[in-house]
Structure 1
């Protein structure tokens, strides 16, 4: 497995600072969600200099359930794909938007499927993966349409493209449904990418109720070899927290390729 940091890990620091820290800690990439805020040509050159880059970004718009927004969504995806081509980024994360009141759920599901099928064609041509992310509606994202793993997998299966898959965010799914290891491994063939943070609080692994040694070991043993992103806040200095994460969790998971300390 490979590990990524997320923008904001070092508050008030820019993307280049984050990329340097990714390299310093022996991680494999950075998730930067608002690509449109960047001069992508300059960042592409800096990535080459530093030796690590942006491995995931987000679509411009988050609305898959409203068919009237489809053309706007697809245009934003095309622009995102163009940026990814310059940056060498292979993953594009999308959320679904909130439930539309007074519209049957199955109608909104079908709108998602139809939009994602059109996205699939664009992504297959470009060699990128669009990753749908379920979010919890109890604490952080009230009203978000896709919250449960099984419904998300059902929609992905209807789209039927290897370039449209899921982000499985352990923090969100712990809040929404629990049963984390079973879902995180049973659905591994539809999952492109994992996010991790502890619960409650969404801080670094090791600060809450989730046993990340067991979770990550199970994901590894299931054969996953993609990215795991630390999408979390930090209760202590970020560098200290990352070194503790590597020593107390990754070392016990026995993952090769990640430096435990500096």
Structure 2
């Protein structure tokens, strides 16, 4: 059965400390979680995991969206050396907490570049870090994002473009993060895409469409999508990357009641 992981940023408001988020997710019977690695010290994470055991499935925060965003851009050649240094730092962090995946976002479009130029720069960046990832046994997962609602002006807003990048890089440690929310908005055809390309998918996210809230109802038949993912032989977690409509703990309870087998 597909297992769910909590997203310790998206699922909680700013009133919760990181320790409270971790404890709440663990007490709600999540077996795993993900978070933005730059925001939390390694010693704190190790202490929290010792107290409330959860696996860590993904670390966000490797690449950014805009030039002034404080993170290297995947498609910006001037940032490539910076990116390599940051990826090595993220790999070191990930190895110490046994996290298998680092999330990469594609960044914003450069107005005077072709899509082919964006793609080549993305391929060049992944090719530069692929040897580090392969040596460490850590996977980079590129997340195509929707450009209609949440991320206007983003590069790589379809799964087809993300698959092109991954195929051109040709590393077993560079895959995509298939976000069911984003890809339903952009293209639909979720189940056929998952079945056709599952070997290139390293992780999944989900939220309700529309709204990006807890995935209960909405226009996606989530049980059918989860069944399709399970039938591919996927052994990882599906990340609950959503903003609750009400209290976080109540939304976790609703999810647990709807999908009891996906919790501990």
Q: Give the secondary-structure state (helix, strand or coil) at the position aligned to 1:93.
A: strand
Map of 1:169 onto structure 2: 179
In the superposition, the TM-score normalised over structure 2's length comes to: 0.90
Map of 2:250 onto structure 1: 240
Within a 5 Å distance, the mapping from 1:92-111 to structure 2 comes to: 92-111=102-121
* Alpha-carbon displacement from aligned partner over 1:109-164 (angstroms, at most 9, x marks no partner): 11111110121111111111111000000111111111111111111011111111
Q: Give the secondary-structure state (helix, strand or coil) at the position aligned to 2:211.
A: coil
Report the alpha carbon displacement of residue 202 of structure 1 after superposing the two structures with TM: 0.3
In the superposition, the TM-score normalised over structure 1's length comes to: 0.90
Q: 1:198 aligns with which of 208, 227, 232?
A: 208
Contact in 1 for aligned 2:103/2:177 (Cα 8 Å): yes
The alignment status of 1:210 with 2:223, answered yes or no, reads: no
Report the alpha carbon displacement of residue 59 of structure 1 after superposing the two structures with TM: 3.8
Within a 5 Å distance, the mapping from 1:1-262 to structure 2 comes to: 1-8=2-9, 9-11=11-13, 12-33=15-36, 35-62=37-64, 63-248=73-258, 250-251=259-260, 255=261, 258-259=263-264
Within 2, Cα distance between the matches of 1:31 and 1:104? 34
Q: Give the secondary-structure state (helix, strand or coil) at the position aligned to 1:3.
A: strand
Contact in 1 for aligned 2:12/2:243 (Cα 8 Å): no
Unaligned runs of 5+ in 1: none
Contact in 2 for aligned 1:134/1:172 (Cα 8 Å): yes
Within 2, Cα distance between the matches of 1:4 and 1:81? 20
Q: Give the secondary-structure state (helix, strand or coil) at the position aligned to 2:178.
A: strand
Within 2, Cα distance between the matches of 1:214 and 1:104? 37
Within 2, Cα distance between the matches of 1:169 and 1:181? 12
Report the alpha carbon displacement of residue 5 of structure 1 after superposing the two structures with TM: 0.4
Report the alpha carbon displacement of residue 50 of structure 1 after superposing the two structures with TM: 1.5
Contact in 2 for aligned 1:59/1:76 (Cα 8 Å): no
Within 2, Cα distance between the matches of 1:2 and 1:47? 18
Within 1, Cα distance between the matches of 2:155 and 2:243? 25
Within 1, Cα distance between the matches of 2:43 and 2:98? 11
Within 1, Cα distance between the matches of 2:173 and 2:197? 15
Report the alpha carbon displacement of residue 53 of structure 1 after superposing the two structures with TM: 4.2
Within 2, Cα distance between the matches of 1:185 and 1:24? 34
Q: Give the secondary-structure state (helix, strand or coil) at the position aligned to 1:32.
A: strand
Q: Give the secondary-structure state (helix, strand or coil) at the position aligned to 1:187.
A: helix
